[in-house]
Structure 1
Amino acid sequence: MGNSALLFHGECQSETSSTCSTESAMSAHNFVVRDYPLLEGISAGKFVRSSTFNAGGYIWTIRFYPNGELKDRSSDAASCFLYCANPAKDVRARYSLNVLEKLDGDVQVTTFSCEEDTFSPTHYSWGYRNFVSRSKLKTLSDANNGCFTVRCVLMVIHEPRTRNRRPIVVPAPSMRESLEHMLMDGEGADVTFSVSHQLFNAHRCVLAARSQVFKAELFGPLKENTTRHIEVDDMEPQVFEVLLHFMYTDTMPDDDEDKGKIERLQHLLVAADRYGVDRLKVMCEDKLYEGINVETVATTLLLAEQHHCKDLKEACIQFISSPSDILRAVMATDGFKQLVASCPLLMEDILKSVSYN
């Protein structure tokens, strides 16, 4: 045929299409470094690392070298690297590593832009040998009680995929929103709780499905004579309201107020333990762990001992027994006096930890 192009006339009998797409997964991790002055004497080439976090189906961690990555070579700058723990094949990723003044602050000390690198079984780490000067870290540490944050924002880029059919869009899960609306609306509620004369309507089946304690109270042989109106003693209405919200939604409301936040979490942990809501109890433990400081550690330790929170107890004792000046500061608080009066046996655990250190 002389022509290089073919012209077709008439109706097209078949038409197909395909789409090439490249998916990605975004994640962020905040690595809070506390007590930085205690790391200044660490040898060059030694590091502290974050906990592992998942992004794009791979396990990642941050390694921070206070005195530089190179062994036996002094450096004026700290190093920081992002590690992929399980790259069975090449993994493309875009990432940024930067130092923040503090976790909830807006001040970004370093200004590294986003990098793209390929992590592989033979080269599984990328980052910055000259990450931030040690003098800048010292200034930052002195201004923030020895604390700063390394923030990693990571996007894993998957292999391109070609599809020959239009994907079916599945609606997002709506059960949580539906149950939350049912709680707020009160329709179908069949039990009322009175907490310090404040009334809360709820649904017995929901509570029984979420808590064995509620199940026994509402349906078991030990249920009260009338299960339509139940008095709740020794609990604040605000705490019971958060507990109910969690029973329906599996989430805790945002609490941005710093004043009284730790005390509210402590009361909520007691309520979660009282009604056997284990996930809420662990979530409270985690937030109380983040809030450990000189003023809160004694009351948190007492709470952890009374409600069998092993990890939280160990974290409190470790905090108290780190530097000797922290123990003296804790001993001057009212919470420590309450701790000694309520549970003197805990002093033995503290003294053992101090002696080991």
Structure 2
Amino acid sequence: MPSRLTSPAGTIAGMNHSCTQLREVATSVLQIKLDGFCITKANINHDMGCIRSRCTLEGHDWEIRFHPALYVGRVNYCPGLDLVFLSEERRPEEAIPVPAPDLHRHLGELFRREAGADVTFTVSSGESFAAHKGVLAVWSPVFMAKFFGQMREKKDDAQVVEILDMDAAVLKAMLGFIYTDEVLELEEKAEDEMTLAQHLLVAADKYGLDRLKVMCERRLALGLEVGMVASTLALAERHNCPRLKAKCIEFIAGGSLENLEAVLGTEGCKDLVASSPSVLAELLKAAHGKKRSRSPDMMQTSCTRPLQ
């Protein structure tokens, strides 16, 4: 609505504006008309004052301050215009707060109660977990193809599915992630947490759970230590985790000579030599760049000696 605001120097008669919001960026076009205001050579040197008007844009209060003669020279003058931010976003007092989304909590409860489950997974230890094919298929393209794809076999329609390459703790954590979008087991700081993260990364890669895979990569990268870094490096190479691979190489090559010796003597290094010789070459090259006093041949001998 137009508004009339008066000042010692004049009046802002009307102000029409329109706003267009794109994400968090808002634009406003304002047309300002001054009524009853004039400036002449006779009064240019006088105090012209400041004409003010307020407007609201996307819930925020702003004030426009117009200075008719902010700077006055001998033969000319220069007006000024200030845009002043006045307040944080205004919220209507009668607004009712909306609770945060909690779909993950409801799905987690569905998983725990096993209500309406139509498939049961069993592992070699005999433990079993009930689940819902539809929920699994939403997250995993592998489960989607297995349960609902055109190429599914009759055995895929069975209500019991054996998982022989995964233990109970890993399967439970993976299913829990599918239902809740989180893995509490990776936040418990348990002694076997890093081992779980390694096995869970393998499972995530197998079933196409990209977000879970990245979560495991991050946890492994944050918890790198001498005893497991070589096996983690082999895992990163095998399951196409370039960022985790780079972190492992940086950890090994950038540490002390003592740490390097310790890493080269681990069981993980044996696995690295057997499964990924090209990665070992990258590692030795990086380590040689940081430890020029040690030759690559010496490190190669140290790493491969346990295999004899």
Normalization by structure 2: what TM-score? 0.61
Tell me the amino acid that sits aligned with residue 274 of structure 2: A
Q: 1:314 to 1:171 in 2, by over 3 A?
A: same
Structure 2 equivalent of residue 44 of structure 1: none
Structure 1 equivalent of residue 104 of structure 2: 176
Q: 1:163 to 1:308 in 2, by over 3 A?
A: closer
In the alignment, the residues of structure 1 paired with residue 153 and residue 172 of structure 2 have an alpha-carbon distance, to the nearest angstrom, of 21
Matched, 1:277 2:173: no
Matched, 1:307 2:252: no
Q: 1:210 to 1:347 in 2, by over 3 A?
A: same
The 5 A counterparts of 1:321-332 are 321-325=253-257, 326-332=259-265
Identity %: 43
The 5 A counterparts of 1:221-300 are 221-226=150-155, 227=157, 228-254=159-185, 255-300=187-232
Query: In the comparison of the two structures, how many residue pairs are matched?
Result: 201
In the alignment, the residues of structure 2 paired with residue 330 and residue 290 of structure 1 have an alpha-carbon distance, to the nearest angstrom, of 17
Q: 1:163 to 1:171 in 2, by over 3 A?
A: closer
1:128-167 residue CA offsets vs partner (Å, 9 max, x unmatched): xxxxxxxxxxxxxxxxxxxxxxxxxxxxxx9545545322
In the alignment, the residues of structure 2 paired with residue 199 and residue 246 of structure 1 have an alpha-carbon distance, to the nearest angstrom, of 17
Q: Structure 1 residue runs of 4+, over 3 Å off?
A: 158-165
Structure 2 equivalent of residue 211 of structure 1: 140
Which structure has the highest helix share of the two? 2
Tell me the amino acid that sits aligned with residue 262 of structure 1: M
Indicate which of 140, 149, 171 corresponds to 1:220: 149
Moved more, 258-267 or 284-293: 258-267
Structure 2 equivalent of residue 194 of structure 1: 122
Query: 5+ residue gaps in structure 1?
Result: 1-56, 58-157
Question: Post-superposition shift, 1:354?
Answer: 2.1
1:169-222 residue CA offsets vs partner (Å, 9 max, x unmatched): 212212111111111111111111111222211111111111101101111133
The 5 A counterparts of 1:44-55 are none
Indicate which of 247, 272, 278 corresponds to 1:339: 272
Question: Post-superposition shift, 1:259?
Answer: 1.5
RMSD of aligned Cα (Å): 1.9
Query: 5+ residue gaps in structure 2?
Result: 1-23, 25-85, 291-308
Q: 1:301 to 1:172 in 2, by over 3 A?
A: same
Indicate which of 284, 291, 301 corresponds to 1:351: 284
Structure 2 equivalent of residue 24 of structure 1: none
1:324-348 residue CA offsets vs partner (Å, 9 max, x unmatched): 5122221122221222123222211
Q: 1:163 to 1:310 in 2, by over 3 A?
A: closer
Question: Post-superposition shift, 1:223?
Answer: 2.1
Tell me the amino acid that sits aligned with residue 333 of structure 1: T
Relative contact order, CA 8 A, sep 6+: which one is greater? 1
Tell me the amino acid that sits aligned with residue 182 of structure 2: T
In the alignment, the residues of structure 2 paired with residue 159 and residue 351 of structure 1 have an alpha-carbon distance, to the nearest angstrom, of 59
Q: 1:318 to 1:170 in 2, by over 3 A?
A: same
Indicate which of 249, 269, 277 corresponds to 1:317: 249
Q: 1:194 to 1:162 in 2, by over 3 A?
A: closer
